[in-house]
Amino acid sequence: MIEVHLYGRLRRLAAQPGVWRPSIAWVALPEGTVAQVIEVLGIGPGDVSNIFVNGCYDQAALGRTVRSGDRIGLFPPEMRMLYV
């Protein structure tokens, strides 16, 4: 399982959405690129501004391979504090 932490309006895709607790979606892929993982959640590249993989910001994260046990953090465009 890949653990996806969602922020802002992306929280609606979590099992238990809302700002009062972590909004997490679990993706049952053993391995895949970040782009593939977010596609499973119905998120397009235009819906995200900034992506963290295991707590590290990565400008080129969409093409990065993640595996079961990894954590992804996704921020929407309106929280684009991280300017890219």
Partner 1 sequence: MSKLLRVNMTDLKAAFEEVPEPYRLWGGRGFTSMLTSGEVPPNCHPLGPNNKLTIAPGIVSGTAAPTSGRTSFGGKSPLTGTIKETNVGGLSSQKIARLGIKGIIIEGQPAEAGKFWLLRINKDGAEFLPATDLVGKGMYEVCRTLWERHGKGVAIIGIGPAGEYRLTNAGICVNDPENSAGRYAGRGGMGAVMGSKGLKAIIVDDTGGPGVEIAEKEHFRTAIKKLTEASLKHDVTKKEGALNTYGTNVLANIMNEAGGYPTRNFSGGRFELTGQISGEAVAELVKKRGGVGTTGHPCHPGCIIQCSNIFPYPDGKFHTSVLEYESVWALGANCGIGNLDDIADLVWACNDVGLDTIEAGATIAVAMEGGLLEFGDAQGAKKLIHEDVRGGTPLGRIIGCGAELTGRAFGVVRVPTVKGQAMPAYEPRVVKGIGVTYATTTMGADHTSGYTIAPEILSVGGKADPFNPQKAELSRSFQAATAFIDTSGYCLFDAFAVLDIPEGLAGMVESCAAVLGTKWTVDDIGRIGTEVLKVERAFNAAAGFTKAHDRLPEFMKYEPLPPHNTVFDVPDEDLDKVHAY
From CA 75, how far away is CA 1, in angstroms rounded? 20
Among 3, 8, 32, 36, binds partner 1 (CB under 8 A): 8
Q: Which is nearer to partner 1, 4 or 27 (CB)?
A: 4
Stretch that binds partner 1, among 25-33, 35-43, 62-70, 76-84 (CB under 8 A): 76-84
Q: Centre a 10 Å sphere on the Cβ of residue 44 and count the other Cβ atoms it contains.
A: 9
Q: Which is nearer to partner 1, 14 or 27 (CB)?
A: 14
